Amino acid sequence: MNLVKLTINSREVEVQSGTTILKAAEKIGIDIPRLCYDDDLSPVGACRLCMVEVKGARSLVPACVTAVSPGMVVETESPVVIESRRTTLNLLISNHPLDCLICEKLGDCGLAEYCYKYGVKESTFQGERHDYVIEENNSFIIRDLNKCIQCGKCIRACDEWTGIHNLDFIYRGFDVKPATALDSTYVDSECVFCGNCVTVCPTGALTEKQMKRQGRRWEVQKVKTTCPFCGTGCNFDLNVKDGRITGVTANRTSIVNGRALCVKGHYGWDFVQNEKRLTTPLIKKDGEFMPATWDEALDLIANRLKGIKEQYGPDAFAALSSARCTNEENYLVQKFTRAVMGTNSVDHCART
Amino acid sequence: MAGLATTFGSGAMTNSINEIPDAEMLFLIGTNTTEAHPVIGYKMREAKRKGAKLVVVDPRRTDLARIADYWLRLKPGTDIPLLNGIMHIILQEGLQDQQFISERTENFEALAKTVKDYQPDVVSSITGVPVEDLYAVARLYATTDKAMLFYTLGITEHICGTDNVMSIANLAMLTGHLGRPCTGVNPLRGQNNVQGACDMGALPNVFSGYQKVIDPVVRAKFEEAWGVSLPENPGLVIADMFEKAHTGELKAMYILGENPVLTDPNSNHIRSGLEKLDFLVVHELFLTETAEYADVVLPAASFAETEGTFTSTERRVQRVRKAIEPLPVLANWQTVIKLSQRMGYPMSYATPEEVWTEMASLTPSLAGINYQRLESDGIQWPCPTSEHPGTAFLHAGAFTRGKGLFQGIDHIPPGEVPDDEYPFLLSTGRILYHYNVTTPYSPGIHSMWSEEASEMNPDDAAKLGLATGDKVKVTSRRGDCVTNILVTDRVPPGMLWMSFHYANSPANALTSAVLDPVTKTGEYKVCAIKIEKI
Ligand code: SF4
Ligand code: SF4
Ligand code: SF4
Ligand code: FES
């Protein structure tokens, strides 16, 4: 592979030919702003935020889709570049509700982050604004296309990760938007509610319903774990605030799934906080379950099991362990069955 | 997994999930992957987009069947003649991998003898698959270098489940599709940690790492580590447990995190077995149908409330991390320890990590894995030493048992077939939105998909005067239940397809008690029923 030498912000860098300016800059720690670009999606060069100055070029070029060439001299934060970015952001927010005070994406919103960085606080363009109805008729995703910046990442995530092509741009000009086949709501489309579009959306256009008003993005602690819903072994982050789970977000470092999830992994976690969860032991008395302390319950179990073992022998006992529980729990259950009860009768439900 | 263990000496997915997008052919037998293992399904669609050929063997027109290059809509329960027919063609056309067969396998003659009888036209009439498709798929698989085979519940939940698995293994060996990336025989395990539960020895015949309880050397090792003498006879498998509960030989059970009343075939038999026990402890998140029968119910902690590990279908051990405190105060591992102590056997682990460390020290195939090494990506077993990187694909160079064992396998018709009285075939499976027993407790998921809809072909619906949304009573020789009908040509005529996720239409009240003689897996997939409008 050929190596190409170029200069970015007066620093030399050498990369393989075919590398984009954006990636070459990343290599030496220079972060070029981007909204439609995502490492895990194909590049489209749509948002124009990543424009940079290339000496000798007639106009600014989009860094996310422009390949490096030998001897190229690039400026990523020169005055004309900054001016161009301010204009781009200015245009984007001219038709964007600036209700950041209550927006669920704040703290994880690309648009707000770059407006902050470039000091753009309101638009100088006054024009027509969209007035789409906010879509909330499903349990998982809130869709507020008033906040959409037409970056198209949701379309690509649906195509390239989930692979079902539920979304595409429809209409033209001012009215262009990512939509389902008949411009229906997600519920009435082919949507499988994986939420992968939500994961990539850089604005408050797509947000997780379960997380609504449960805490600001910067208040939650993220705990990476393994999905409990199928054998694929996807990883994700449980978001926790004040000892409660507020939601699941994707974690890019997941070796098997990257940031892709399915509806179960993304939104099925809430069984954990179902109010029907058992929190104390129950002992059946005259056909009715009565709450008991751990000590009462464990003493009763130990006495009954000891008695049955003495009277009928170890093989009068059997245990079912669980294909849902951890390895450590399974190991302990089989050890208990073998070492304590003295029988090999331990199995679990799914022998598939 | 007994089938693969016989053929190769090891019963797990041979290859890895992230090899899928680079494969040139995916051959799916009885797996509705996009619903049961959605993210694996995404990777299959990705492979297809990149040009891989896709073959789907399934009576139902699943999502992947819709985009398949070849969709073989076989009659339920005819997997073995189909596979034998494909192997017949491969041998007839000389497309087998002769070098692989002679260097890496044994007993080839038995296979060749058996499949000789499976002439394409005979196979076509048994399976309903056109002869041209048999030829096309046989040639495609035999001549594609990077071809991966997948199967799941569909193939193991039959009376001949073990034989089906061995037939699939035969096919892969015949064409040398093993021991390399993007090949292999890949069972997709249903539950999140069914692989781990098996690996940990939650099975009546083996300790952790499939070390046999009948082996005196193995037993001596565990006796020394655990400080007790251990029973030498294999214990009861789940189906036999309920049998012995009926006969009164089994008096007490402890059930952790499982709901056999809902998820096991022939639930009426299970209910009456549970009723007969003197003493039942159920350790569960919710007061499930099974917990109702308990004398003592212990509250369980969920995956979010404990440290630990799960092992995925590709043998990858990964960390589970505690996000919130256990709702019932005690995590499940702590509960088992306390119970053990009260029974007079000391267990003193301060953390799940200490449990893992003990297990790994006794288990050669996992000995190299510790929590530090699991911090980022997890590790795929076998991993015998702390320097070993883990194993992405099995059987490179040699099989676990040495040579791969071919077996000639003949067709066993399903244990129960439709007749005049019970004219329909019931088939059950998993749907995307649900996962056995926890998802019905997810308020979000429940609100979107709360009622069972059983799929029926438009022809049958017309004959019975049924439309989508109508309620019917479904009766088998073992029980009955009520369900809503969804009219769709996803299912062939003569079949009703139900999932087993909903307590208010328990499909497993209907299913067959006929068990695979080796694994004792219930025949969930095929059973005869009648359907009446109500
Ligand atoms: S939730 Fe998933 S399937 Fe639905 S539109 Fe978004 S990416 Fe596509
Ligand atoms: S909904 Fe979000 S991801 Fe999709 S185009 Fe709009 S801003 Fe981009
Ligand atoms: S996110 Fe979906 S595909 Fe991934 S492990 Fe969980 S249930 Fe399986
Ligand atoms: S990030 Fe380059 S055009 Fe959007």
Q: Is the CB of A50 under 6 A from ligand 4?
A: yes
| A48 contacts: CB under 8 Å, gap ≥ 6 | A62, A84, A88
Please give the angle made by the CA atoms of A212, A213 and A218, to the nearest 5 degrees: 100
Kindly state whether residue B112 falls inside one of the protein's structural domains.
Answer: yes
Residue type, B493: P
Strand partners, A11: A8
Q: What is the predicted pLDDT for the residue at B519? A: 46
Report the C-alpha gap between B387 and B369 in whole angstroms: 9
Using the CB atoms, write b or e for B388-398: b if 16+ within 10 Å: eebbbbbbeee
Look at residues B363, B386, B409 and tell me which one is the last residue of a structural domain. B386
Residues B379 and B267 placed together within one structural domain of the fold: no
Report the C-alpha gap between B475 and B511 in whole angstroms: 10
CA distances from A246 to A243, A322, B254, B302 (A): 9, 27, 33, 15
The stretch A157-163 carries a mean pLDDT of 97
Residues B277 and B373 placed together within one structural domain of the fold: no
Residue A262's CB is within 10 A of a number of other CB atoms, namely 30
Strand partners, A201: none
Residue ranges of chain B whose pLDDT lies below 70? 1-11, 153-162, 264-266, 414-415, 429-440, 447-452, 500-526
CB-based contact A337:A346 (threshold 8 Å) = yes
- CB contact A272 to B (< 8 Å): yes
Task: From B86, B233, B501, select the one nearest A343 (Cα to Cα).
Answer: B233
Residues B360 and B458 placed together within one structural domain of the fold: no
- CB contact B38 to A (< 8 Å): yes
- CB contact A189 to B (< 8 Å): no
Structure tokens at B194: 């069914």
Task: From B465, B286, B66, B452, select the one nearest A190 (Cα to Cα).
Answer: B66
Q: Which domain CATH number covers B50?
A: 3.40.228.10
Q: Residue A352 above 50 pLDDT?
A: no
Q: Residue A244 above 60 pLDDT?
A: yes
**Residue in chain B lying closest to A190 (CA):** B63
Q: What is the predicted pLDDT for the residue at A176? A: 93
CA distances from B357 to A167, B41, B390 (A): 48, 34, 17
Q: What is the pLDDT of residues B518-531, one digit of tens each?
A: 444 444 456 788 88
Task: From B86, B62, B87, B57, select the one nearest B73 (Cα to Cα).
Answer: B57
Residues B76 and B8 placed together within one structural domain of the fold: yes
CB-based contact A83:A53 (threshold 8 Å) = no
Report the C-alpha gap between A296 and A285 in whole angstroms: 13
By residue count, chain A amounts to 352
**Interface predicted TM-score (ipTM) of this complex, two decimals:** 0.93
The span from the first CA to the last CA of chain B, in angstroms, equals: 41
Q: Which domain CATH number covers B351?
A: 3.40.50.740
Cis geometry, peptide bond prior to residue B382 (ω within 30 degrees of 0): yes
Report the C-alpha gap between B295 and B453 in whole angstroms: 34
Q: Which residue has the tokens 């059973």?
A: B527
Report the C-alpha gap between A326 and B308 in whole angstroms: 6
Residues B136 and B14 placed together within one structural domain of the fold: yes
Residues B266 and B181 placed together within one structural domain of the fold: no
Report the C-alpha gap between B268 and B164 in whole angstroms: 28
> How high is the mean pLDDT of chain A?
94
A-contacting residues of B 231-290, CB under 8 Å?
Answer: 231, 233-238, 241, 244, 249-260, 263-264, 278-279, 281, 284-287
Q: Which ligand has its closest atom nearest to the C-alpha of A64?
A: 4
Per DSSP, the three-state class of B500 is coil
Q: Which domain CATH number covers B501?
A: 2.40.40.20
Q: Is the dihedral of CA B449, B455, B459, B463 positive or negative?
A: negative
| B220 contacts: CB under 8 Å, gap ≥ 6 | none
Q: What is the predicted pLDDT for the residue at B190? A: 77
With an 8 Å Cβ cutoff, are A317 and B253 in contact?
A: yes
- CB contact A134 to B (< 8 Å): no
CB-based contact B205:A334 (threshold 8 Å) = no
Report the C-alpha gap between B281 and A239 in whole angstroms: 33
Residues B347 and B492 placed together within one structural domain of the fold: no
Question: What is the 8-class DSSP label of residue B118?
Answer: -
Residues B165 and B274 placed together within one structural domain of the fold: no
Q: Residue A22 above 50 pLDDT?
A: yes
Kindly state whether residue B266 falls inside one of the protein's structural domains.
Answer: yes
Q: What is the 3-state secondary structure (H, E, C) of B203-236?
A: ECCECHHHCECCCHHHHHHHHHHHCCCCCCCCCC
Q: Which domain holds residue B347?
A: 190-235+301-386
Residues B378 and B319 placed together within one structural domain of the fold: yes
CB-based contact B202:B174 (threshold 8 Å) = no
Q: What is the predicted pLDDT for the residue at B4? A: 67
Structure tokens at B363: 């288990």
Report the C-alpha gap between A39 and B532 in whole angstroms: 55
Kindly state whether residue B417 falls inside one of the protein's structural domains.
Answer: no
Task: From B160, B137, B196, B147, select the one nearest B2 (Cα to Cα).
Answer: B160
**Residue in chain A lying closest to B330 (CA):** A294
Q: What is the predicted pLDDT for the residue at B478? A: 76
Measured over all CA atoms, what is the biggest interatomic distance in chain B, rounded to whole angstroms? Answer: 68
Per DSSP, the three-state class of B478 is coil
- CB contact A203 to B (< 8 Å): no
Question: What is the 8-class DSSP label of residue B399?
Answer: B
Q: What is the predicted pLDDT for the residue at A128? A: 81
Q: What is the pLDDT of residues A69-118, one digit of tens each?
A: 999 999 999 999 999 999 999 999 988 998 999 999 999 999 999 999 99
CB-based contact B231:A342 (threshold 8 Å) = yes
In this structure, the dihedral spanned by the alpha carbons of residues B427, B433, B434 and B435, taken in order and rounded to 10 degrees, is: 110
Q: What is the predicted pLDDT for the residue at B479? A: 78
Backbone φ, ψ for residue B467 (5° rounding): -130, 165
Higher per-residue confidence, A265 vs B154: A265
Chain B residues lying within 8 Å of A279, measured CB to CB: 299, 327-328
> Closest residue (by CA) to atom 6 of ligand 2?
A148
Backbone φ, ψ for residue B206 (5° rounding): -140, 150
Residues B23 and B147 placed together within one structural domain of the fold: yes
Q: Is B181 exposed, middle or buried (0-12, 13-18, 19+ CB in 10 A)?
A: middle
CB-based contact B168:B83 (threshold 8 Å) = yes
Structure tokens at A288: 């009715």
Report the C-alpha gap between B42 and B18 in whole angstroms: 11
Contacts 24+ apart (CB under 8 A), B369-374: B369/B317, B371/B319, B374/B309, B374/B317, B374/B318, B374/B319
Kindly state whether residue B399 falls inside one of the protein's structural domains.
Answer: no
Residues B123 and B264 placed together within one structural domain of the fold: no
CA distances from A59 to A51, A54, A56, A84 (A): 9, 8, 9, 11
**Residue in chain B lying closest to A271 (CA):** B442
With an 8 Å Cβ cutoff, are A276 and B235 in contact?
A: no
Kindly state whether residue B407 falls inside one of the protein's structural domains.
Answer: no
Question: What is the 8-class DSSP label of residue B146?
Answer: S
Structure tokens at B522: 């219930």
Q: What is the predicted pLDDT for the residue at B5? A: 66
Domains delineated in chain A: 3-77 (3.10.20.740), 96-213 (3.30.70.20), 218-275 (2.20.25.90), 282-348 (3.40.50.740)
Q: What is the predicted pLDDT for the residue at B443? A: 77
pLDDT bin (cut points 50, 70, 90) of residue A129 is: confident
pTM: 0.92
What's the order of all strands across the beta sheet hosting B296-299? A288-291, A282-285, B296-299, B279-284, B252-256, A317-321, A346-348
Q: What is the pLDDT of residues B373-417, one digit of tens each?
A: 999 899 999 999 999 999 999 888 787 778 888 888 887 776 677
Residues B113 and B135 placed together within one structural domain of the fold: yes
Q: How far away is chain A from the Cα of B340, in angstroms, using its nearest Cα?
A: 7
Please give the angle made by the CA atoms of A169, A172 and A175, to the nearest 5 degrees: 85
The number of distinct structural domains making up chain B is: 4
Report the C-alpha gap between B290 and B270 in whole angstroms: 9
- CB contact B320 to A (< 8 Å): yes
Q: What is the 3-state secondary structure (H, E, C) of chain A?
A: CCEEEEEECCEEEEEECCCEHHHHHHHCCCCCCCCCCCCCCCCCCCCCCCEEEECCCCCCEECCCCECCCCCEEECCCHHHHHHHHHHHHHHHHCCCCCHHHCCCCCCCHHHHHHHHHCCCCCCCCCCCCCCCCECCCCCEEECHHHCCCCCHHHHHHHHHHCCCCCEEECCHHHCEEECCCCCCHHHCCCCCCCHHHHHCCCCCEEEHHHCCCCCCCCCEEEEEECCCCCCCCEEEEEEECCEEEEEECCCCCCCCCCCCCHHHHHHHHHHHCCCCCCCCEEEECCEEEECCHHHHHHHHHHHHHHHHHHHCHHHEEEEECCCCCHHHHHHHHHHHHHHCCCCCEEECCCC
Q: Is the CB of A115 under 6 A from ligand 4?
A: no
Kindly state whether residue B409 falls inside one of the protein's structural domains.
Answer: no
Task: From B452, B293, B264, B328, select the one nearest A272 (Cα to Cα).
Answer: B328
